[in-house]
Amino acid sequence: MKKDDLKELAINLPKKPGVLGRDRFFNSAVLIPLIKIKGEYYILFQKRAAHIRQGGDICFPGGKFEEGVDKNFKQTALRETKEELGIGKKDIKIIGQLDTYVAPIGAVIESFVAVVKKRALKTMNIDKNEVEKTILIPLSFFKETKAEEYTLSHEIQPYRYNEEGEKEVLFPVEELGLPDTYKKPWGNKRHKIWVYKYEGEVIWGITSVIINDLLSKY
């Protein structure tokens, strides 16, 4: 490396580091809607329609960042909230953003905290193709309730068997001359899962991770 190459490298280094390899992940954004009712703040959740991916899960309004449609992740969160719940920008005041979350499932989530006007509850227009219903839960419930804790594990699979029982090699360990340890599943990385139960509904996964991060801020 020559001196000029080093200078060019220094110039091209990011001024504000982001997420390495972000374009390989599912990039998304969610809105955390806080609504003040009779002096107490509630979180507005939605339950995903049963027939869609991850149907029946409790989550925040949000979705995939659309290249060419969204200028930034904040716009993604606002657009998805409008599409799913019919709540427009005029009733939403974003007060800040949580840290970027890179989930084990290969998704990057940007979470925006917002105060939503109470009147939006009356003017909501839920997209029934995506949302079964909305749920209001007092913020104090999460502050005062200890979540149940479990663990899940993720294994890296260098091969798999198809429906006919034939072995499909996904990563050619032998051809690449890699150590034998990679010829069988490896990793088995465990991560913690938090579960909240509220009036018959179960809140877990990415949603509970975001909730816990929100609770740590006050």
Residue 98 covered by a domain:
yes
Q: What pLDDT, on a 0 to 100 scale, did the predictor assign at position 98? A: 98
Three-state DSSP class for residue 128? coil
Q: What pLDDT, on a 0 to 100 scale, did the predictor assign at position 24? A: 93
Residue 9 covered by a domain:
no
CA–CA–CA angle 156, 160, 163 (5° rounding)? 145
Pairing of the two strands 92-97 and 107-116:
antiparallel
Residue 8 covered by a domain:
no
Three-state DSSP class for residue 87? coil
Residue 106 belongs to what domain range?
21-215
Query: Do 116 and 34 contact (CB within 8 A), yes or no?
Result: yes
Residue 15 covered by a domain:
no
Rounded Cα distance, 141 and 162, in Å: 45
Rounded Cα distance, 139 and 46, in Å: 15
Q: What pLDDT, on a 0 to 100 scale, did the predictor assign at position 198? A: 97
> Structural domain tally of the chain?
1
Residue 2 covered by a domain:
no
Query: Do 59 and 30 contact (CB within 8 A), yes or no?
Result: yes
Rounded Cα distance, 78 and 62, in Å: 8
Residue with tokens 């991560």: 191
* 96: number of Cβ within 10 Å: 10
Cβ-Cβ contacts under 8 Å for 113 (sequence gap 6 or more): 32, 34, 94, 95, 96, 97, 98, 214
Query: 168: domain CATH number?
Result: 3.90.79.10
pLDDT in tens, the chain (218 residues): 888 889 999 999 999 899 998 999 999 999 999 999 999 999 999 999 988 888 899 999 999 999 999 999 999 999 999 999 999 999 999 999 999 999 988 899 999 999 999 999 999 999 999 999 999 999 999 999 999 999 998 889 999 999 999 999 999 999 999 999 999 999 878 889 999 999 999 999 999 999 999 999 98
Residue 10 covered by a domain:
no
Rounded Cα distance, 27 and 202, in Å: 25
Report CA torsion sign: 99, 208, 191, 48. negative
Phi-psi region of 51 (alpha: psi -120 to 50; beta: other; left: phi over 0): alpha
Q: What pLDDT, on a 0 to 100 scale, did the predictor assign at position 71? A: 97
For residue 91, which phi and psi values (nearest 5 degrees)? -105, 10
Residue 14 covered by a domain:
no
- For residue 207, the 8-state DSSP code is H
Residue 7 covered by a domain:
no
CA 110 vs. chain centroid, Å, equals: 7
Q: What pLDDT, on a 0 to 100 scale, did the predictor assign at position 85? A: 98
